[in-house]
Structure formats: C-alpha cells, structure tokens
Amino acid sequence: MSSENHGTVKGDTALVMSPTGSVTQGSPVSPSTSKPMPELPDELVQAGWSKCWSKRENRPYWFNRFTNQSMWEMPVLGQHDDIIEIGMPVTPTTPTVPISPITPRAKPWNSTTGTEDKPGQPASALYRTNIIYWDLDIQTNAVIRERAPANHLPPHPEIELQRARLTTKLRQHYQELCYQREGIEPPRESFNRWLLERKVLDKGPDPLLPSDCDPIISRSMFREVMNDIPIRLSRIKYKEEARKLLFKYAEAAKKMIDSRNATPDSRKVVKWNAEDTMNWLRRDHSASKEDYMDRLEHLRKQCGPHVTAVAKDSVEGICTKIYHISVEYVRRIRQAHQTLLKDCNITDPEAAEVQDRLVYCYPVRLALPSPNQPRVELHFENDIACLRYKGEMVKVNRGYFAKLELLYRYSCIDDPRFEKFLSRIWCLVKRYQVMFGAGVNEGMGLQGALPVPVFEVLNKQFGVSFECFASPLNSYFKQFCSAFPDTDGFFGSRGPFLNFSPASGSFEANPPFCEELKDAMVTHFEELLEKSSEPLSFIIFIPEWRDPLTPALNRMETSAFRRHHMSVPAFEHEYRSGSQHICKKEEMYYKAVHGTAVIFLQNDAGFTKWEPTPERIQELLAAYQVSQRALGSPVPSSTSSAPTMPSPASAGMSGNKDSTAAKTAPEQSASLDTSPASQENSSTSSPLENTTPPSEAASL
C-alpha cells in the first residue's frame, strides 16, 4: 500500500483560527474535492480520516487531519498500532468517600471540517508517535476538598505579548545594572531562579512577575551576584588557567577595595593578601594546578568578607531596583488586562457556592469567562507545529502538540468546539518561553523530568498518579501542579503546588533547584501529612548536595514522616531535557552530574498502602538501568546490577562526587562558594571543577 505526504500533494498547510472559531486557510489544508465523495464509515471520520481528490494523480486518496498521513487505499481502523481510540476520563473507583466531579464531554477540535462528536459515538482518535513520554490514561487518586473557581484573569495573546516584552526588558535592566555597578555579566540563570524564589513569597496578581514580596531584597539574587564579585570564576581544566584566574582574582580584589568606601582594616587585609599572592606567582613557576586552586580558595576566604562588605549596598541596590521595576510592569499589565476585559463586557462574577465535600482533584477553573480570542495562525514545518500571533512565533513538536490537544480535551470545559485552542496554546508556550529566557539552552533545567521507566514503576509499585512540579509540556500524568494556573489549567494543571492541599493520594515531587522553594515544599509536605489521616505519600527526587548539607535535604532526612531514603549515583542516571517539547530525539535525555536522593515521606496510612518494601525499591532502581539501556548508555559495571541503595541506618551519609566526564546538560559553570545556597550551582567538592547542574523540574 503506497502513501503520499499530504504536504507534497498541496504544499505547506497554514491553518488560521478566527475569533469566531472558523478556520480560514492561507493555503488549503486539504485538497478540494471537485468530485462528490462517498461517505466514510463514522469510525474513520471520527478518527480524523477524510476522502480527497488528487489533481496531480487524478484519483482519490485518504487524508488524516490528526496525523497528516495520506494513503491511496482506504485505511482500516485498528490496523496500525499508532492509531488509538481516545475516550473521556473514567471516574476512579477508589477511594469510595470522594465524589468525582463531572466534566462535560469535550468535542474534538476539527481543523478542516465542521463535524463534531455525537452522543453514542467514540471520541476522536489521535496519532501516537513511536516513543511516548507520557501516559494520560492513568486516573488520579489525589483527593481534595472542593474549591471555588480561581480569580485569575483569563489569558489573552495580546496581554501575553505585552508581558513577554516587559519581562525581556526587565532582563535587560538586570544585565545593565550588573555591568554598570559591578562590571560583571548577570550570573547564568540567576534571573530565572529569582522568579522562582520571588513566587514563593509573592502575593501579587501577576502569574509571572513579582509585585508584592516581603522582603524586597531577594536572597537568591543577592547571593548569586555577590558570588561573582570581584570576578566570575570559571571551570578550570588546566594549570595555566588556574594560574591566570588566581592572578585576576587578586588584581580585581585589590582594585575593588581601592575604589570603594572600605575601612582601613579591610584595605590592609585585602592589599596584603593580594600582593602576597602576586609575589608568590612571580617566584613559584613549578606549582601544580591543585596548588593554584588551594591558593585561590585561601585568598577568597581571606578577602571575601571584606569584598562582600564594600559591595553589599551596591548589590542590594540592584535587587531593589529590579523588584521595583517589576512592580511597575505588573501594574501596567494588570491595567491593560482589565481594560481588555471591560471592553469585552466581562465583569467579576458572583461568588460560586462550594460544597464542603471531598472530590477527586480536578483542573483549575477560572471564575471569569474568557474574552474573544484573536486570530492565531498554525502551520506545520515537518514535525514542528508553528503558531504565530502578530509576528511572534512559538514552536512545539507535532507529538507534543497532539499531547496538548488531548490534555485540552480532558480538562477544558468552556471551549467544546476548540475555538480558543490555538490562542491558548500560544499563550501557554509563550509563557514558558519567556520564563526560560532567550539564552542558548537557558532555562532547560526548570522543565526537566524523570525518565519514563521511572514514572512507570512509581505508578505500578507506589500508586503515584500525580506530579507536584510539572507543566503541560513535560508532565507524564494528566494531573499535575504547575506554576501558571491561568494558562495551564485548560491543559490539566491543578495550580501551584504550594496552594494545593490534597487529603490523600500518592505524589511524585521533583522540584526546581531553588533552595527557598525546596524549603517551602518540605514545610508544605509536613503540614499535609500532619493533618491527614487518609493515605498520603510523597516521593521526592532532590539533588544530593552534602558539602555542606542543604537545609531542605537535611529537614527531609530528619523528618518524622521519612519512611525510606536511597541514593542514585551521579552519571548513572538521566533526566529528560527541559526542551523536550522542541528538541531532537537524540537530545531528549542528559546525564545527571550529581547524585540524586530519593526520599519517601508518608503518614501511617500512606506507609501501610504504599510501603517502600525492598522489592518495590529494587524495581525503582532497576528502572534507571532500563532507562540507560534504552538510551544506549553503558550500564556501570559493579557488584550490583543497580545503583547503590544505602541502608536505612546509613542512608545519605555520604555524598556522591562527580569524578568522570559524561554527557551533561548544556548549562555549565563553576563556583567557589561553599555556602548551602551555592550548591544550586555546584555539586562537587572540588571548587574549580564544578559543573552547574540544571534544575530538573518545573514550576512552583
């Protein structure tokens, strides 16, 4: 049976969704049927197939609008494994107490025709690619108390475009302030971590930019900028590099102390140590790389406190200025958004009545209806879906575009004809694009995820059906928490995790590498476990940083709810890339350059139901080996066939040190800071040989 690429038949397609929901065409979506075509069976129509006429070949062919497949012969439903039938979520049968919320049946989004699902007919089928990084058939076991619709303003491309431009402008202000005041470039990813840290405290109305934080000065931004003063330290491989870096640091420290308002004692200490270092460099030409590194560490300990003292006011000024600019930008965005809603005659609705009952968790619902959406253009370039609004294009792989369609079908209740689907995808992808930043490989770590085999074992062995930190782009389950309830709720998000209070369920947590967020996460875990008598379990994946021990890891290891703790060594496991929705298949996974601690926090009922028995733990560890074999990575040879698992008595007492070269995530830098917070950028004990590990999860 021969086939023909649909784009070859009629050229590139270009779909345009109008505000009314009709579809216009830049170039035809499918060939026009100049001859009357006999009706197809209903099941084929619902699977996306239609009969078309090829002018070039002068004969009919069959085209699937979901898969972009073209066939000369009539397709047979179910003949190929890559065509599956999609049904609506089935209400879980356990637990028995909660009431499952009823979601109206979603109708398919039709890009070429006006057909709809009819009662009694199966929902539309979608194309399943060879490799799937999610399982949207798994039902939730997370139970919450019914909650009122959220009062977030509904997303709109015009407002999202304004937010994107102002956020980019704020990043530029940050770069200029760092250069003008301290002569440095902003620390890599520091703005992204600032957004995460601020959102832990922020009570303002904007989903992305902070505007109501106490304190105003960000601890995250302050320490990261301060860590690059007087110069940024780079990763060292060779002896000559270490020698040059030592000289530059001594010279910069001396120059800085001379140009700032330092005390006489500070001037004396810094000048003496800097000159002593320079004299040593002139005398000793036979020193090793390790000698230079030790000398640099000694110099930083001697000069660091004095350099920090003279730079403190300036760095605090940078943090304060950026925050106040953000407040002003939030005011502008809010005002424009409210004006748009007012022009559409959308006003605050009456407060919805909420019953005090337990229900299975359901996606965020917005109290305000969405305004009419502007036109968003869609076209496909090979395997990439491209969505354009006013010249601003966002891209997503075709498979992930299909995933977003499924999530929308399951979760959205106000758009049965998919009239707002394209504009909402544009807002969603644009939001995460802006959050990541425009740098090469920037922000990937904020969206990383566990390997698929690990998720499969978590679900099978521990009943996990929910991710605490994810997004519609990187989630494995269709139920998850994410940073942006206004854009993500239409695609299944339950909102930010710190605002999510389940009464029971089994959860996976893989938080971003932000110390303030991780600390708030632990506090939230313990509060939930303390007040619930229903089965409740959290399995946390967190970097095993012990030099020194990070506060969040220490708190979980000493928690009264800790049931088990194990370690997966560095370079012996992978994470899925933060750019998985757009990257190439060979770039989907990267090696973890640090050890990962896996900690089970459970109440008594949760421990009884999902006990981390030795057999279950072995299955989880073996999943990492399956992931490596699937990627073609060599499995480390050792006496054990799986990564090491400490005993309960000694679990986590020794950290894993990076000692070998391997393929790692793109983000790489170094730091000599040995404070707990600095380990967000460092995972090794050798200060100048560190590789910055990106965070491996999404949102708050």
Q: How far is CA 182 from CA 175, 232, 673, in A?
A: 11, 11, 18
Residue 69 binned pLDDT confidence (cut-offs 50, 70, 90): confident
For the segment 91-101, the average pLDDT, to the nearest whole number, is 37
Residue 318 binned pLDDT confidence (cut-offs 50, 70, 90): very high
CA dist., res. 517 & res. 538, Å (int): 16
Query: pLDDT tens across 275-302, in order?
Result: 999 999 988 778 899 999 999 999 999 9
Query: pLDDT tens across 322-346, in order?
Result: 999 999 999 999 999 999 999 999 9
CA dist., res. 483 & res. 363, Å (int): 13
| Other beta carbons less than 10 A from residue 235's beta carbon | 14
Q: What local confidence, expressed as pLDDT, does residue 40 receive?
A: 73
Query: pLDDT tens across 447-500, in order?
Result: 678 999 999 999 999 999 999 999 999 999 999 999 999 999 999 999 999 999
CB 488 within 8 A of CB 480: no
pLDDT, averaged across the chain: 79
Query: pLDDT tens across 545-578, in order?
Result: 888 889 999 999 999 999 999 999 988 889 888 8
Q: What local confidence, expressed as pLDDT, does residue 120 receive?
A: 35
pLDDT at 118 over 60: no
Q: What local confidence, expressed as pLDDT, does residue 131 receive?
A: 67
| CB-based contacts of 123, cutoff 8 Å, min separation 6 | 46, 85, 86, 87, 88, 105, 106, 108, 117, 409
CA dist., res. 219 & res. 216, Å (int): 9
pTM of the model: 0.75
| CB-based contacts of 688, cutoff 8 Å, min separation 6 | 233, 235, 236, 242, 245, 293, 296, 670, 672
456 vs 684: which has the higher pLDDT: 456
CA dist., res. 176 & res. 318, Å (int): 10
Q: What local confidence, expressed as pLDDT, does residue 672 receive?
A: 38
Residue 693 binned pLDDT confidence (cut-offs 50, 70, 90): very low
CA dist., res. 472 & res. 474, Å (int): 6
Q: What local confidence, expressed as pLDDT, does residue 193 receive?
A: 92
Q: What local confidence, expressed as pLDDT, does residue 91 receive?
A: 37
Query: pLDDT tens across 537-546, in order?
Result: 999 999 998 8
CB 578 within 8 A of CB 444: yes
Q: What local confidence, expressed as pLDDT, does residue 690 receive?
A: 32
Q: Helices H, strands E: what count in the chain? A: 16, 19
Give the domain ranges of the chain.
Answer: 158-342, 440-630
Residue 627 binned pLDDT confidence (cut-offs 50, 70, 90): low
pLDDT at 358 over 90: yes
Q: What local confidence, expressed as pLDDT, does residue 197 receive?
A: 94
Q: What local confidence, expressed as pLDDT, does residue 14 receive?
A: 39
CATH 3.40.50 fits 440-630, yes or no: yes
Q: What local confidence, expressed as pLDDT, does residue 611 receive?
A: 97
pLDDT at 194 over 50: yes
